């Protein structure tokens, strides 16, 4: 896992969700692919995100609990791990600490 992305463009306008509990920036690569780099602040309740394309969420720092789609069970993910969410789906995520992530948009 690389610590940085080289030769990219960054969209200056931030993506702000849930009243500022999640903030990200879109990174565009020369081959047309996109990723978002973001932070989720500690939450009291799970945040629900809708997906349009398949996403792989890579946890950079912190840990979180995630429920994908209609799953009844949440799974714990820590720094260095990732989880996959199908396109046209959703996931719920919660954390007790600052969570840094990279969302790899795979569609």
Tell me how far CA of residue 88 lies from CA of 21, 26, 28, 96, in angstroms: 23, 20, 22, 27
Residue at 11 is within a domain: no
Rounded Cα distance between 93 and 75, Å, is 10
Whether pLDDT at 60 is above 80 = yes
What is the rounded average pLDDT of the residues 33-52? 96
Number of folded domains that form the chain? 1
Residue at 13 is within a domain: no
Confidence of residue 107 (pLDDT cuts 50, 70, 90): confident
Residue at 84 is within a domain: yes
Q: Report the predicted TM-score, pTM, of the whole model to 2 decimal places.
A: 0.94
Question: Any idea what the CATH number is for the domain that residue 95 is in?
Answer: 2.60.120.10
Is residue 85 within 8 Å of 53, Cβ to Cβ?
A: no
For the chain, the average pLDDT equals: 96
Residue at 55 is within a domain: yes
Tell me how far CA of residue 89 lies from CA of 16, 64, 67, in angstroms: 20, 19, 11
> The domain containing residue 48 runs over which residues?
24-105
Confidence of residue 77 (pLDDT cuts 50, 70, 90): very high
């Amino acid at each position: 896992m690389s610590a940085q992305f080289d030769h990219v463009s960054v969209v200056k306008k931030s993506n702000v969700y849930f009243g500022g509990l999640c903030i990200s920036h879109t990174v565009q690569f020369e081959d047309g692919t996109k990723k978002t780099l973001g932070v989720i602040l500690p939450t009291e309740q799970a945040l629900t995100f809708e997906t349009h394309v398949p996403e792989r969420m890579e946890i950079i720092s912190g840990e979180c609990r995630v429920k994908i789609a209609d799953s009844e069970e949440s799974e714990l993910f820590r720094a260095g791990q990732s989880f996959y969410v199908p396109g046209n789906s959703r996931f719920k995520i919660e954390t007790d600490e600052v969570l840094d992530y990279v969302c790899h948009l795979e569609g």
